[in-house]
Amino acid sequence: MKYLVEREKKEIALAEGLTMTFIRKEDDETYIDKMPGSRRILSVADGNVIVSHEGESVENAKAGNSVVIEGEKSAKIFGKFHGVCLSAKDDIIWSAEAMDINKDRQALKLPEDAGNGDFVQVITAGGGYAVVTLGNDSLMLEKGETLVVSAKDAEYDIGVMGEGRIIASTFACAGTFEGAAPSTGEETDGDTEKAEAVKDKAKKLIKDRQSKRNKVSLKGATIKDFINAFKVSATSNSIFRHISSFRKNNWLDPEITWEIDKLQRKHINAIIWLVVLCVIMAIVGVGSKFSGFIIWAVLWTLVDFFIVAPFVYLLIMPKPTTKHIKKITDLTDEEKKIRQKEIDSDKVPHKKRVLKRF
C-alpha cells in the first residue's frame, strides 16, 4: 500500500487514464471543455457550485458532495469553490460516496464493483476535517486536503473519524504515482507516540470546532426576514406549497432550500408543537374539562403557527433572505433553468448523486 496527501498541486497522474487536478476558483463562472472517452468527478471541499450540463440540466453541490461531468458534454460551473477534479477513462470502473463522519472510527469498505485486484481511492475532507487510519498509521486531513491510496483489495484496512464529511472516490486500476508507504510490522514507541499525538490533536480540534460552531443565528435578521420566514413556514405543507401565491410568484434558491430541507427532514417544528401540547395536556388536561384543554391546544397551535415556527425557520435561514428569495419575473436565465429543472424532476437541485455503498 502507498499513499500521498496533497492540497495545492496543479495536477497529479494517479494511474494510466486517471489524473487528479486541484481547483481553487475565485471566479463566478468556469467553462469545462468536452473530453470524449472519459468522465470528470468534481468533488467540492469548500464552497457551493452549480453545474450546468450544456444548458440541458443543472446540479448543485455544496462542500462534501460530488458532481459527475460526462466527457461527451461540456459544462459551466458557477460559484466560488475549492476541490478536486478526477478525470478517468470510461473503461475504468469507479464508484463514489459522500459520507458523514464523527468522533468514532468508521471502517471504509471497497465497493463490490471495484474489482478484486488493484485500486486507487481518493479521499477528500469537505466541510470539516478527518483522521484517517491506514493499518498502524494515522493521518490528519484538514478541510480541502486529499488523501490518495493505492493498494490491492487484500491490503485494504482504512478507517475514518473526525467532523464533517468526506468524499471517497474509488477506481479499479493500479496506481502509478510516487507516494509514501505506511509503516508495517510491530509498533515502536515512536509509532505509539505519533498515534497518541494525532488523537490528542483530533480531540483538541473537535473541542475547538464545537466551541466555535454557530449553526443557528439571528445575526443580521430584520423584520422582513421574519416575514419571509413566516411565509416559508406557512407554506411548508405540500398542499399550501402548491396553492400559495407566495410560492407561485417567488423562487427559493438552492442555498436557502438546502437549509429548509434539513430542518424539515428532522421534523423540528412538529416535535416542538407535540412536546408543548403534551405538557399542556399534563398540566391543564388533568384538572379541567376536555373543552378547557381544547382551548389551550388551539391557542398554542396559533402561537406556534404565527411565532414559534417562523422563528425556528428564521434561525436556520441564510440572511438577508431577500438575496435567496426572488420573484420569478426577476430571475436570470441560469436561475430560470435551475427552476425549470426543479419543476421537471419535482426535486430540489442539491439532491445527492453519489452512490451509496452502505
Give the count of domains, the chain.
Answer: 2
Residue 212: predicted pLDDT? 45
Rounded CA separation 337/317 (Å): 23
* Helical spans, DSSP H, in the chain: 189-212, 223-234, 238-243, 245-249, 254-265, 268-280, 290-303, 309-316, 333-345
* Together in a domain, 25 and 100: yes
Q: Is 350 a member of any domain?
A: no
Task: Select from 180, 212, 244 the last residue of a domain.
Answer: 212
In a domain, 233, yes or no: yes
The pLDDT tens digits along the chain (358 residues) read: 677 776 666 788 888 889 888 887 766 677 777 888 888 888 888 777 888 887 678 888 877 788 888 888 888 888 778 888 888 998 888 888 888 888 888 888 877 665 557 888 899 887 678 888 887 778 888 877 888 888 887 677 888 988 888 888 888 888 888 776 554 444 445 555 655 565 565 555 555 544 444 457 788 789 999 999 999 999 988 778 778 889 889 988 877 887 888 888 888 999 999 999 888 888 876 556 667 778 888 999 999 999 999 999 999 888 888 888 989 888 887 778 777 776 765 543 333 333 333 3
Domain match, 83 and 187 both: yes
Please name which of 169, 166, 39 lies closest in space to residue 91, comparing C-alpha atoms: 39
- 3-class DSSP state of 85: strand
Which of 151, 177, 212 terminates a domain? The answer is 212
Count of alpha carbons within 13 angstroms of residue 115, beta-carbon side: 16
From 9, 208, 195, select the one nearest 128 (Cα to Cα): 208
Last residue of a domain, one of 212, 242, 257: 212
Q: Are 324 and 318 a contacting pair, CB within 8 Å?
A: yes
For residues 187 and 267, state if they share a domain: no
Q: Is residue 16 part of a domain?
A: yes
Residue 352 CA to its chain's centroid (Å): 8
Instruction: Domain of residue 274: give its range.
Output: 223-345
* Amino acid identity at 299: L
Please report the pLDDT score of residue 274 as a whole number.
93
Handedness of CA 134, 210, 265, 350 (dihedral sign): negative
Co-location of 187 and 241 in the same domain: no
Are 152 and 86 part of one and the same domain?
yes
Q: Are residues 130 and 17 in the same domain?
A: yes
CA 125 from chain centre, in angstroms, equals 11
Let me know whether 157 and 39 are in one domain: yes
**Rounded CA gap, 28 and 268, in Å?**
35
How far is CA 98 from its chain centroid? 8
176 and 284 belong to one structural domain: no
- Is residue 46 within 8 Å of 144, Cβ to Cβ? yes
What pLDDT shows up at residue 174?
86
Does residue 358 lie in a domain region? Answer: no
Task: Tell whether 11 is covered by a domain.
Answer: yes
Q: For residue 351, is it within any domain?
A: no
**φ, ψ for residue 219 (rounded to 5)?**
-60, 125
Tell me if 335 is assigned to some domain. yes
User: What is the grid cell recorded at 143?
Assistant: 478541510
> 10 Å Cβ neighbour count for 236?
17
Together in a domain, 309 and 202: no
Query: What pLDDT is stored for residue 225 in this prediction?
Result: 92
Phi, psi of 109, rounded to the nearest 5 degrees? -125, 140
CATH number for 128: 2.60.120.10
Cell numbers 435551475: residue? 338
Residue 107 included in any domain: yes
Do 95 and 45 touch, CB atoms closer than 8 A?
no
Residue 48 has φ and ψ, to the nearest 5°, of: -150, 125
Residue 209 in 3-state DSSP? Answer: helix
Confidence (pLDDT) at 261: 82
